Amino acid sequence: MIAGLSVARWAPYLLILLVIPAVVAMWAWRSGTDADQAGLTVRALLGSRRIPWSDVAGLVTDDRGTVSAQLNSGRAVPLPAVGRADLPRVVEAAGTEINPR
C-alpha cells in the first residue's frame, strides 16, 4: 500500500493498483466457514451460503488437507479456512455423528 501510494503520487492513473491489495485484504477478512448445530455457513467475498446438516452427506479431505462438504445431491462445497486438523471441531459443532472421510 505504501509503495502504491508513492507510485500514485508520481502517476495518478496508477492509483487503481491500490484496489488489488484492498480486495485481497477484504477476501482474507471475510472468507471462512462457521459451523453450529443447525449447519454450515460458508462465507466468501461477496456472499454466503447456508447449508443445513441434513443436506451434508459427509466431510471429505483431499491430499492437500483441504476439506469439502459432500452434499446429498453429489456436489462438493469447499469449506474455506477449514483444514484436516479442524474436522473434530466442525463435527463437535454439528452435535451429531458425521463421519469424516
pLDDT at 97: 62
Q: Per-10-residue mean pLDDT for the chain, 101 residues long?
A: 69 77 86 94 92 93 93 96 91 72 53
Instruction: Please write down the long-range contacts of 74-83, taking CB distance under 8 Å and 24 or more positions apart.
Output: 77/42, 77/49, 77/51, 78/42, 79/33, 79/40, 79/42, 80/31, 80/32, 80/33, 80/42, 80/43, 80/44, 81/31, 81/32, 81/33, 82/33
Report domain extents, the chain: 1-30, 32-101
pLDDT at 17: 76
